[in-house]
Amino acid sequence: MNDRISAGELFEQLAERLELRWLAGREGAGRELESGSTLARLPSLVGYLNTIYPNKVQIIGTEELRYLDTLEARIRWETIQKMVAARPLALVITKNQTCPSDLHEAAEESRTALWISPRRGHELLTLLQFRLAQALAARITLHGVFMEVFSIGVLITGEAGAGKSELALELLTRGHRLVADDAPEFTQIAPDVLDGTCPTLLQDLLEVRGLGILNIRHMFGHTAIKRNKYLRLIVHLVPARSDDTDAMSRLTGDTSTRDILGLAVPVITLPVAPGRNLAVLLEAAVRLHLLRAKGIDPAQAFLARHQQHLRQQREST
């Protein structure tokens, strides 16, 4: 799990897009920002100058520089010292404004990264906040094949040899798209959203027993690959059992949830047996999930109809 980012890494990732230049504190390139309980107590990862509750990246705009200029010399120096004493990941000056010499000196002495950009404050705030939130988000790697089926992200899981890759290959021939095989990575980018991506090493690849590694992009074209997708459903493959006599599951299906990074993800379990068309069954499972998301549940509708029929029979006797 990647749960930290350094000032140097952040600068490299955004330098071109934000036109950043490094003014002082280059020795602070290794200073790191970590996710976890420490960040939970802070008001923001990125924000305008705040000496009471310091942000981890302090943006210094026109108003902040004007405020510093209104301070008496001793208080100004104490304010700047308080800024760097909080050990921010970086200080960023907006709109290519002239950097005050005392701020430059304090950043150099404290080894605090001091950057400057021609961009306006709100642009810096938006992009820095997004990048840091993405880099420090909770992340997990799961075993399975992650695909886009009927526009939603579906993770196919099961024991080794259950037929996950063969099912994925069949779905690809039916026009669905592959996100990642074997080890998709999921990042919690919002309180209720898990974004699934493919590790760089496995990009475009699908391993099928008997055929080896297949390059799906080369075989099916660029449209067969999806860069990322939100996880909405898990389809779990299990061997079919001859002694399965649960009458209720025959009506409602085998449904449950799986906890992933604190989120309850719906799970539909499909029994695998010779002669069963798993691609058709998985497509039906996805369609059923979409209907349930709209509040339409065929099983519950049937049970309600059955109860009504019984009531009518009792009333007629």
Give the CATH number, domain containing residue 38. 3.40.1390.20
Average pLDDT score over residue span 104-125: 95
Q: Is the pLDDT of residue 243 over 70?
A: no
pLDDT of residue 4: 83
| 143 is a catalytic site residue | yes
Position 317 in a domain: no
Which pLDDT score is estimated for 216? 96
Reported confidence tier of residue 161, pLDDT bands at 50, 70, 90: confident
Residue of higher predicted confidence among 137 and 151: 151
Residues 6+ apart with CB under 8 A from 242: none
pLDDT tens per residue, range 9-60: 999 999 999 999 999 999 999 999 876 544 444 557 888 888 888 889 999 9
Determine the average pLDDT of the residues in 212-219. Answer: 96
Residues 31 and 180 in one domain: no
Q: Once rounded to an integer, what is the mean pLDDT over residues 132-159? A: 92
Cα–Cα distance for residue pair 126/111, rounded to 1 Å: 25
Structure tokens belonging to residue 265: 């993800």
Which of residues 114, 135, 156 is at a domain's end? 135
Q: How confident is the model at residue 2 (pLDDT cuts 50, 70, 90)?
A: low
Instruction: Indicate the SS3 state at residue 63.
Output: helix
Angle 73-85/62-69 helices, nearest 10 degrees?
Answer: 130
CATH of residue 163's domain is 3.40.50.300
* CB atoms near residue 29 (< 10 Å): 17
Which of 116, 135, 154 is the C-terminal boundary of a domain? Answer: 135
* pLDDT reading at 242 higher than 70: no
164 included as an active-site residue = yes
Record the tokens describing residue 268, joined without a space: 């539909």
- Block residue for tokens 């999806």: 226
The one catalytic residue in 131, 139, 164, 236 is 164
Q: Which of 87, 174, 250, 276 is catalytic?
A: 250
Instruction: Look up the domain containing 294 and give its range.
Output: 139-305
Specify the pTM. Answer: 0.73
CB atoms within 10 A of CB 276: 13
Are residues 40 and 24 both part of a single domain?
Answer: yes
Known catalytic residue at 250:
yes
- For residue 259, pLDDT over 70 is answered with yes
Percent share of the chain, pLDDT over 70? 94
User: Among 67, 121, 71, which residue's Cα sits nearest to residue 91?
Assistant: 121
Please indicate whether residue 85 or residue 43 has the higher confidence score (pLDDT).
85
Q: Are 111 and 222 in a shared domain?
A: no
In this structure, the answer to whether residues 122 and 19 fall within a common structural domain is yes
Residue 131's pLDDT band, with cuts at 50, 70 and 90, is confident
| φ/ψ of residue 167, rounded to 5 | -65, -40
Rounded Cα distance, 185 and 195, in Å: 8
Annotated catalytic residue within 4, 17, 87, 143? 143
Two structure tokens written together for 283? 């497509």
pLDDT at 283: 96
Calpha distance 183→199 (Å, rounded): 7
Residues 278 and 285: their CA atoms lie apart, in Å, by 10
Mean pLDDT of 178-191: 92
Specify whether 69 is located in the same domain as 115: yes
* Distance from chain centroid for Cα 196: 6
Residues 6+ apart with CB under 8 A from 134: 187, 189
Question: Given 181, 182, 195, 204, which residue is catalytic?
Answer: 182
Please, are residues 237 and 158 in contact by the beta-carbon 8 Å criterion?
yes
187 within domain boundaries: yes
